[in-house]
Amino acid sequence: MSLLELKGVETFYGASQALFGVSLDVKEGEVVALMGRNGMGKTTTINSILGLAKPRSGSISFAGRQVAGMRPHRIARFGLGLVPEGRRCFPNLTVLENLLAAARGSEWTLEKVVELFPRLGERRDQYANTLSGGEQQMLAIGRALMTNPSLLILDEATEGLAPVIRQDIWAAIRKLKAAGQSILVVDKTLSELLPVADRCFVLEKGVTVFEGTPDRLTPDIQDRYLGV
């Protein structure tokens, strides 16, 4: 059974339709890549899953429940941990306070987050708005993990970061995968994304146009749907 399953999701912003039929699923323990060029509907798909945008039709089930149309805070409590585009943390809280404010459940602890991202330990008393972009991204991931999500969703978690920081974040994603964490990941760095992904979905203008294992993502398909 899938942990998350979307079927034929259609979502609008006002009168403007962004999703025209998105179907995808994530099984327990899988890392699933959600791909597609700019503006194709990746973030809108994530917003639809989380209840931040309301699907007009289609179904979304998470952990055995129909969640489409529910309020965002309720959906999140079923076990979704989002690292949003633009890495939002509480700017006037310290690293430690940010992490503790997110804590829910018992598996993930401060110690485990700091083990995954030692830099957060070094900066535990620093205010979030004084962190570098990469450190803020680590904090955003740490915050999502502190909620003990059964599904972690990463939306462009490595975008705009220095190469060395990106490496740290990919290494963390690989560790999470090895530990069995289910992850839905949006990222444009295919060279890092494909090796870690169990399956991929590609969106084109709000429609799922490809589903399969990374080895089936041929150069032709990459050119057609992911080329810049």
Ligand X SMILES: Nc1ncnc2c1ncn2[C@@H]1O[C@H](COP(=O)(O)OP(=O)(O)OP(=O)(O)O)[C@@H](O)[C@H]1O
Residues that bind Mg ion (CB under 5 A): 42-43
Token pair 């309301």 is found at 54
Angle at which helix 133-146 crosses helix 95-102, to 10 degrees, equals 30
Shortest Å, Cβ 69 to ligand X: 18
Q: Among 137, 139, 134, 131, which Cα is nearest to 114's?
A: 139
Nearer to ligand X, 17 or 61 (CB): 17
In whole angstroms, give the CA distance from residue 39 to residue 117: 31
Q: Which is nearer to ligand X, 42 or 123 (CB)?
A: 42
> Nearest distance from residue 68's CB to ligand X, in Å?
17
CA angle 7/8/9 to nearest 5° reads 95
Q: Compute, in degrees rounded to 10, the torsion defined by CA atoms 44, 45, 50, 54.
A: 70
Size of the site for ligand X (CB under 6 A): 11
Which residues, in sequence order, are bridge partners of residue 4?
26, 62
Residue 33 binding target from ligand X, Mg ion, none, CB below 5 to 8 Å by type: none
In sequence order, what are the beta bridge partners of 184? 32, 153
Binding to ligand X by CB under 6 A, coded x per residue (else -) over 19-58, reads -----------------x-xxxxxxx--------------
Host H or E run for residue 13: strand 2-13
Q: Which of the residues 3 through 22 are near ligand X (CB under 6 A)?
A: 13, 16, 18
> Of ligand X, Mg ion, none, which one sits near residue 158, judging by CB under 5 to 8 A according to partner kind?
none
Q: Work out how close the CB of 58 gets to ligand X at its nearest, in angstroms, rounded to a whole number.
A: 15
Residue 227 binds to ligand X (criterion: CB under 6 A):
no
Q: Which residues bind ligand X (CB under 6 A)?
A: 13, 16, 18, 36, 38-44
